[in-house]
Structure 1
């Protein structure tokens, strides 16, 4: 029987996660991509395993991987977005907070996605319908909640809106700190946690269209019923870009007001 796209996304992400686990705690060889960014052998090997599995199962589809770019035809309507190790800096520092992300974009929509936490064995996934958490082969429907009051912010560059907004300054906003508690996990696993009710919200600057890092998490949050917009509340991938995802409308409204206070001031003080 032919594997469904949802199950293929899970299988591919789990295959990558197995590589990540096998490499964890071993000597890390760094392949420098910029002065502050690098890949490891785990990134490269996990991506190769994932791409090989996807190409074997769906030879007509295109694949975009973080490390090796695009394979397959430029005109393919179906494109897999692969982030083999989101949280490379965590991984290299032997901090087991990482994710393996695999998503399928069909046309302009992500129709299947999986985000695997290699060290907990948890699989967050959607086939375009509901969002689920799979543990030990058992699925449960994800239910977002703001009860934790925890808001995860991405403090890693690039910051295309840095003249008007910096996430780090949000953490000192008195109206933010009166209601929420900030967290910086430094992996897009935290986006899936919003869908799962473990985070009240997540926000980041940046242009995220076809982002191998964020496609899975965004799809999970949309399927779970979160409020998902661009940084200023605009439709995703338009205007200033960015991402503001919240468990509910009230949380989203409160964080959006904090974002707008920065934009209204027109400038930021860079730390």
Structure 2
């Protein structure tokens, strides 16, 4: 198996990995899948497990010495390793379980290459850490963020660690928000790739430090490489001192959202 990946750079490894996971997700779609309870209302399905196994198979074959943090399988290798892959095999499990196709497969090398696959369109959003592009079939097109859609994805899923100072739902009721933007809620980090691709003007979510999250790392890497503005909900750079995430296609959109968030805080 390892010969299949000989000579691939990290971006191509990430692409191969998310495609392997996306193939499983696509194939198992629509089946009656038992839910594996993870507590606090969260769960996984057999598709999550099998997709992660497929992704890990690619990474192990291509980069056997690298550490991996998988959403379902946990830490493999040293957590402080210089090279660590972050794997979210099915972002949007609840969507998937109820027959909604809004899901993503995320793979990121910490501080390096990353890829996000849409299992149903076949699009793979990729970055080598410097530039970002979408691969459709075998054709690559550079990602160009733009606020032209005026659509802003807002994650409304709990928990709400910044409440009562900030709640995403409050942003939707802000008079200036409804004058300028239209909210969307897709409940998957596929929306981050859409910001990088110009399909969304921005994305907002609460939370802690999301820069090292298996759910967000790939999307954050894509948006940064595409030239989006990426900060916490307090406007500070991502890191242990920041909270949540605001990703915007341009400075004007980011500034407008930050003024609304600060006005509610």
TM-score w.r.t. length of structure 2: 0.96
How far residue 76 of structure 1 moved from its aligned partner, in angstroms, is 1.6
Q: 1:230 touches 1:238 (CA, 8 Å); kept in 2? A: no
Query: For 1:147 and 1:42, how far apart are their aligned partners in 2?
Result: 35
Q: Deviations over 1:131-180 (max 9, x none)?
A: 00110110000000000000001111222101200001100111110000
Tell me the residue number matched to 2:223.
221
Root mean square deviation, CA, Å = 1.0
1:153 aligns with 2:158: no
TM-score w.r.t. length of structure 1: 0.94
How far residue 52 of structure 1 moved from its aligned partner, in angstroms, is 1.9
Q: Deviations over 1:173-200 (max 9, x none)?
A: 1111000000000000000100000000
Alignment of 1:88-99 (within 5 A): 88-99=93-104
Alignment of 1:104-143 (within 5 A): 104-105=109-110, 110-143=111-144
Unaligned stretches of 5+ residues in structure 1: 264-271
How far residue 73 of structure 1 moved from its aligned partner, in angstroms, is 2.5
Moved beyond 6 Å, runs of 4+: none
Query: For 1:225 and 1:102, how far apart are their aligned partners in 2?
Result: 20
Query: For 2:79 and 2:228, how far apart are their aligned partners in 1?
Result: 32
Q: 2:211 touches 2:220 (CA, 8 Å); kept in 1? A: no
Q: 1:246 touches 1:252 (CA, 8 Å); kept in 2? A: yes
1:82 aligns with 2:87: yes
Q: Deviations over 1:202-226 (max 9, x none)?
A: 0111121310010010000000001
How far residue 35 of structure 1 moved from its aligned partner, in angstroms, is 4.2
Query: For 1:76 and 1:185, how far apart are their aligned partners in 2?
Result: 33
Q: Cα distance 1:26–1:172, how it changes in 2: closer, same or farther (>3 A)? A: same
Alignment of 1:57-72 (within 5 A): 57-72=62-77
Tell me the residue number matched to 1:212.
214
How far residue 55 of structure 1 moved from its aligned partner, in angstroms, is 1.4
Q: Deviations over 1:79-128 (max 9, x none)?
A: 000000000000001000100000001xxxx2100000000000000011
Residue correspondences, number: 259
How far residue 241 of structure 1 moved from its aligned partner, in angstroms, is 1.2
SS at match of 1:178: helix
Unaligned stretches of 5+ residues in structure 2: 1-5
Q: 1:60 touches 1:76 (CA, 8 Å); kept in 2? A: no
